[in-house]
Amino acid sequence: MDDYPNPRTLEDSSDDDALYQNHRHERDALLDEDTTTTTTTTTTTMLPKAVAKKGLNDLVAHHQSLHQKHQSSPPSEGNGSDVEETSTTQKTFVAAAGGRSTLSAQSPGQSTDETNNIRVRLQDADRSRMGTTSLLNSSSSVTSLASTRSSTSPGTPSSTDGYHAISTTSTVTTKKRKVRRPTFEPRSSRLDPEMMAKNEDPFRGFHTLFWIVMGAYGLITFDQEWTRVGKAFGGTLFSSFSQDAIILAISDLGLVLSTGVAFLLIKVISKGWMRYRVAGMVIQHCVQVLFLLFAIAWTIWRDWPWVQSGFFTLHAITMLMKIHSYIAYNGELSEKLIQLKKSQAAYAQIKKDDPKTTDDDSDDSRSESSSQADVTYDHDTTDSHTSDNEQDSNRLHHRLASEAAAALLQDTIPSDSATVNSSQLAAEIEELRSDLKCQNGELWPANVTVANFFDYLIVPSLIYELQYPRTSRIRPLYVFEKSVATLGTFTLLYLTTEHYIYPVVFDPTISPLRALVLLLIPFMMNYLMIFYIIFECICNAFAELSCFADRNFYEDWWNCVSFDEWARKWNKPVHHFLLRHVYDSSIESFHLSKSNAALATFFLSSCVHELVMMVVTRKVRLYLFVLQMFQLPLIWMGNNKTIRQTPRLANAFFWMGMFMGPPLLGVAYCYA
């Protein structure tokens, strides 16, 4: 037998095992970073005493040392290639691990073929592991070379039979990306007068003063309008509101009723007549495209003015987001239910096969049964070869031995199916049951009912959940208060538009620059009043009617120091929808980076905003799209270190952008 160099520890030589390390790094690159589950198992592999005494690592190290010698002193002329000059002496390294085929070097040509076969099998094994949905990151290192006699079952060779035991620790790390979900909890809106009084907000007096001033502003505007034209209502804007009002109401009711297609689709999926993947997803997107196209076509065909067109288009997009979330969320739950049934069947089978097995010893029994391997090593030499031929023979022998050792180490890594034990299945079943639990404690599809779907339609949330925080009762006085606030604020909105905006944008004698200056305050007031109507009045009223307890429809966006912070705070329902169904979905489905996913989300939002303006103005100008995308450099400027270190300056920079944006859009579209 050849003399081996001085043995090194496997920890020192782990970097030399190129095959093993390369495969491990390739797997690491595919893993996400959010959640990690690690399972460590220790297995024992029986090796011949001759191999165990020197250590598997010595084979690799010796092969490399011989290869370096060969590079420094190439074979003499006439020797030919390694394969051609290799002796016919039989060198065998057998790796029998769970039925693995035997690797032997019985002839030069066959040795090369077997080496290639080993490489192919290793690559195929890694591809299959990397292709699983759990994305296993498996790393295995030999931690000790036992020189004591091992305890074996009958029929297993012991150390007295010429075998030693190698203890192998295998660590299987399962990493998967967990989709973030918005957290719903009972909360009140920040500008709710009742909550401000309850919490003794120090600015509650300013809140009262603000509405007194707005009332005085309404009276002054009403008086000026009456003096100018002899009436406060009934102008151009009023005629736009009243035009085709009955047809608009009927169309809007039909729009809401048409969302029932989403319920029917989920009902079919819940009955098991169709899988959500892939047939359900195809039908879902076809329904959504037709839904939006019909709403736009109906708006254009009716030739509604900008008020009705804007309202109907925005409501159609809102309903579209709702049905998308309903179908997508329930569709994923249907797939989880299928997985739950499979896990329960596997768990029952494990208990049936070994009812005495506990969750604690299940890991040991399964890992031991899946990692037993017998390795034999025969080495016959002859003295009839020259020194050059012996070196070539040694090189081939150690190359085969090192590759077989790497193959053995790969086989000791437990696969995904081998590491699933009863405790892991029990945890998976519990997690799936928790995800499928409905409001009443039953499992999905108990929620797929007409009542639940109607409740979701009036809940002021664009993302569907099985459970929402609820209030104990409906307060009629609260609903009346929000209704009155909606009517009063809308009256102020109408007066501002009729008295301060229309006369400017429709006067051809006013230059665009002067119009921009004149519209700064009116547009900002309209923006604030629209925000108050939608997020404080309408959303809170529907939340009260549906007993929806989470009233966090917005945060303190007026204190923002950057536009990305404003995008997260000023419209929480849309932010939650984009976060779950656009940002997270693009990362999970298309494997985008976080920055690219954020850019894709921003781009989609800009396209939808421009679509609304195209329907309202019947023009394709892309002004809103450009201004939306222009927020990206504004975000970069707002994140400047100098600005961020002075929050007051950053907030002033934010408000300057808010002041300039709406009137600039109004002038651009009206003067175009």
pLDDT digits (tens, 9 = 90+) for 55-76: 545 545 655 565 565 555 544 4
Rounded distance, CA 136 to CA 414, Å? 10
What's the confidence (pLDDT) of residue 262?
Answer: 97
With contact defined as beta carbons under 8 Å apart, do 332 and 444 qualify?
A: no
With contact defined as beta carbons under 8 Å apart, do 667 and 515 qualify?
A: yes
What's the confidence (pLDDT) of residue 421?
Answer: 73
pLDDT-based confidence at residue 353 (cuts at 50, 70, 90): confident
pLDDT digits (tens, 9 = 90+) for 233-257: 766 777 777 788 899 999 999 999 9
Per-residue b or e along 278-306, where b marks 16 or more CB atoms closer than 10 Å to that residue's CB: eebeebbeebbeebbeebbebbeeeebee
Q: What is the mean pLDDT of the segment spanning 343-371?
A: 62
What's the confidence (pLDDT) of residue 203?
Answer: 85
pLDDT digits (tens, 9 = 90+) for 298-320: 999 999 999 999 999 999 999 99
Full 3-state SS string of 615-671? HHHCCCCCHHHHHHHCHHHHHHHHCCHHHHCCHHHHHHHHHHHHHHHHHHHHHHHHH
Helix, strand, or coil (residue 557): helix
**Of 90-99, 358-367, 533-542, 652-661, where does the model show the most confidence?**
533-542
Higher-confidence residue of 441 and 453: namely: 453
- Tokens describing residue 328: 């997508």
Higher-confidence residue of 390 and 661: namely: 661
pLDDT digits (tens, 9 = 90+) for 395-427: 555 555 555 544 444 444 444 443 447 888 888
The alpha carbons of the chain give a radius of gyration, in whole angstroms, of 36
Higher-confidence residue of 634 and 513: namely: 513
**Of 53-67, 153-167, 412-426, 527-541, where does the model show the most confidence?**
527-541
- Beta-carbon contacts of 123 under 8 Å, excluding residues fewer than 6 positions away, are none
What's the confidence (pLDDT) of residue 364?
Answer: 45
Whether 159 shows a pLDDT value over 70: the answer reads no
pLDDT digits (tens, 9 = 90+) for 204-227: 898 889 889 988 988 888 888 788
Rounded distance, CA 175 to CA 390, Å? 48
* Of residues 553, 570, 557, 567, the one with CA closest to residue 602: 567
Per-residue b or e along 243-270, where b marks 16 or more CB atoms closer than 10 Å to that residue's CB: eeeeebeebbeebeebbebbbebbbebb
Whether 4 shows a pLDDT value over 50: the answer reads no
Higher-confidence residue of 337 and 34: namely: 337
Neighbouring-strand partners of residue 137: 173
Lowest mean pLDDT, pick from 247-261, 342-356, 589-603: 342-356
Lowest mean pLDDT, pick from 2-16, 248-262, 462-476: 2-16
What's the confidence (pLDDT) of residue 367?
Answer: 43
pLDDT-based confidence at residue 175 (cuts at 50, 70, 90): very low
Higher-confidence residue of 48 and 139: namely: 48
What's the confidence (pLDDT) of residue 645?
Answer: 84
What's the confidence (pLDDT) of residue 422?
Answer: 80
Whether 93 shows a pLDDT value over 80: the answer reads no
Lowest mean pLDDT, pick from 161-175, 423-437, 598-612: 161-175
pLDDT digits (tens, 9 = 90+) for 490-521: 999 998 998 899 889 888 899 999 999 999 99
Lowest mean pLDDT, pick from 95-109, 213-227, 326-340, 588-602: 95-109
Q: What is the mean pLDDT of the segment spanning 147-171?
A: 42
Whether 636 shows a pLDDT value over 80: the answer reads yes
Lowest mean pLDDT, pick from 89-93, 130-134, 262-266, 353-357: 89-93
Rounded to 10 degrees, what is the CA torsion of 255, 256, 258, 264? 160
Mean pLDDT score of the chain: 74
Is the link from the previous residue into 504 a cis peptide, with omega within 30 of 0?
no
With contact defined as beta carbons under 8 Å apart, do 399 and 72 qualify?
A: no
pLDDT-based confidence at residue 626 (cuts at 50, 70, 90): very high
Higher-confidence residue of 254 and 191: namely: 254
Which amino acid, one-letter code, is at 291? F
- Beta-carbon contacts of 493 under 8 Å, excluding residues fewer than 6 positions away, are 526, 529, 530, 533
- 312, exposed or middle or buried, with CB in 10 Å at 0-12, 13-18, 19+? buried
Whether 9 shows a pLDDT value over 80: the answer reads no
pLDDT digits (tens, 9 = 90+) for 543-575: 999 999 999 999 999 999 888 899 899 999 999
pLDDT digits (tens, 9 = 90+) for 104-150: 334 444 445 545 555 555 455 455 444 443 333 433 333 333 333 33
Rounded distance, CA 159 to CA 161, Å? 5
pLDDT digits (tens, 9 = 90+) for 469-488: 999 999 999 999 999 999 99
What's the confidence (pLDDT) of residue 619?
Answer: 87
